[in-house]
Amino acid sequence: TYSDMLVSWLFLLGLSAGIGTLNCYLFLRFPTWERVWGVFTRPLLFLSCVFYLFESVPPPYNSYLWYNPIVHVTGQMRRSIYFNYDAPFVSPLYISIISIVTLLLGLLLLHRNSRDLLYR
């Protein structure tokens, strides 16, 4: 339904804003973090259940994938598109907490160190 799709887009927007804000600070403060982040996120497409279903991952590994917030966004989007797909693993609370904590932490760090970062 459209409401599930809207929820998925809101999850993605919040997650992007939070991680983007935190990365904005980290890129300015630690220049090598940009390269580390690039290496870290390269396999993220394969680890986000885009090409396969979360339910098809064997039990020891699916518990590790559950901590990837993009897996929840992907599951929510699949739930909105396919009427017979149920995604019981999707946790709106988990995505919201990750989004809010990273956004507030990024904003706090940017605010506290803005003068130091601008005059570097």
Mean pLDDT of the chain: 93
Radius of gyration of the chain (CA): 16
Domain tally, the chain: 1
Contact present, 10 and 95 (Cβ < 8 Å): no
Single pTM value for the model: 0.90
| Sign of the torsion formed by the C-alpha atoms of 110, 115, 116 and 120 | positive
Q: Per-residue pLDDT tens for 31-77?
A: 999 999 999 999 998 999 999 999 999 999 999 999 999 999 999 99
Please indicate whether residue 44 or residue 115 has the higher confidence score (pLDDT).
44
Residue 113 has pLDDT above 90, yes or no: no
Residue 114 has pLDDT above 90, yes or no: no
Per-residue tokens: 23: 């990365």
Residue type, 43: P
Q: Rounded distance, CA 80 to CA 18, Å?
A: 23
Owning domain of residue 104: 2-118
Per-residue tokens: 59: 């039990």
Residue 120 has pLDDT above 80, yes or no: no
Q: Rounded distance, CA 25 to CA 10, Å?
A: 23
